């Protein structure tokens, strides 16, 4: 190990200094090979099919958690806003009936009559005598 404080200069070697075997690169995964080929060759507009533009395993969704795009400001969600949304969502109490009256609640006779009349119009009884 060199001593601290000593400046080391690079050594320039002649171009034919190393005459050993040239290492062969290991094969790349298909997705990486696709990206390398497209990066080197590019895609012409006439050949720009979906299979040329989107590699296997790629999706149309951004890989970043938040899109910090200046062109789409509504996608710029700050961490504080996300925390406020999570806090507001946690404060909501779930309604198991989704706004409908409880199962044991009484129904007024007027509402029951109207509901039965509407049901009779929508699906009449085929066995009823005219």
How many structural domains are present in the chain? 1
- Inter-CA distances, 44 with 40, 41, 51, 53, 56, Å: 12, 9, 13, 11, 19
- Does some domain include residue 121? no
CA atoms of 95 and 100, how far apart (whole Å): 9
**Which residue's structure tokens are 């696709």?**
34
Answer whether residue 129 is part of any domain: no
Domain hosting residue 35, numbered range: 30-91
> Long-range contacts for 124-130 (Cβ within 8 Å, ≥24 apart)?
none
pTM of the model as a whole: 0.26
pLDDT in tens, the chain (130 residues): 667 777 777 888 888 888 888 888 899 888 788 778 878 888 788 877 776 666 555 655 555 545 555 666 665 566 667 777 788 888 888 777 777 777 788 888 898 899 888 888 888 777 877 6
As to burial, measured by CB atoms within 10 angstroms (0-12 exposed, 13-18 middle, 19+ buried), residue 56 is exposed
Whether 125 maps to a domain, the answer reads no
Whether 82 maps to a domain, the answer reads yes
């Amino acid at each position: 190990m060199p001593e601290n404080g000593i400046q080391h200069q690079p050594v320039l070697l002649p171009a034919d200094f190393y005459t050993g075997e040239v290492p062969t690169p290991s094969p790349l995964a298909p997705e990486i090979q696709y990206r390398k080929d497209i990066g080197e060759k590019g895609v012409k507009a006439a050949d720009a099919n979906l299979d040329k533009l989107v590699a296997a395993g790629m999706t149309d969704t951004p890989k970043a958690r938040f899109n910090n795009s200046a062109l789409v400001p509504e996608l710029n969600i700050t961490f504080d806003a996300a925390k406020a949304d999570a806090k507001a969502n946690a404060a909501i109490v779930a309604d198991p009936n989704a706004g409908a009256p409880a199962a044991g609640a009484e129904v007024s006779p007027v509402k029951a009559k109207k509901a039965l009349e509407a049901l009779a119009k929508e699906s009449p009884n085929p066995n009823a005598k005219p």
